[in-house]
């Protein structure tokens, strides 16, 4: 889990485009603009399910860029 917390969040990520994120999480993430998963996980209103969805979205984006 520590390794996942160190993951960086892309600068120009569109939180509204991430299917499954809670509305409150989208609002908080857009406002605060965390730089890493660790920072995002400490935001009040962003729950562990939102963090998991965000991690999957970031990983899928990296895989798509490689292909």
Mean pLDDT over residues 5-22, rounded?
93
- The domain total for the chain is 1
Residue 63 has pLDDT above 60, yes or no: no
Structure confidence at residue 6 as a pLDDT band (50, 70, 90): confident
> Domain range for residue 50?
2-66
Q: How many CA atoms lie within 13 A of 3 on its CB side?
A: 0
13 in the Ramachandran plot: left (φ > 0), alpha (ψ -120 to 50) or beta? beta
pLDDT at site 1: 52
- State residue 67's pLDDT score: 47
CATH number of the domain residue 6 falls in:
1.10.150.570
Banded model confidence at residue 5, pLDDT cuts 50, 70, 90: confident
- pLDDT tens across 15-53, in order? 999 999 999 999 999 999 999 999 999 999 999 999 999
């Amino acid at each position: 889990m520590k390794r996942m917390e160190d993951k960086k969040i892309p600068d120009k990520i569109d939180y509204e485009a991430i299917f499954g994120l809670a509305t409150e999480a989208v609002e908080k993430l857009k406002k605060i603009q965390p730089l890493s998963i660790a920072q995002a996980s400490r935001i009040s209103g962003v729950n562990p399910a939102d963090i998991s969805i965000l991690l999957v979205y970031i990983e899928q984006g990296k895989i798509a860029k490689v292909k």
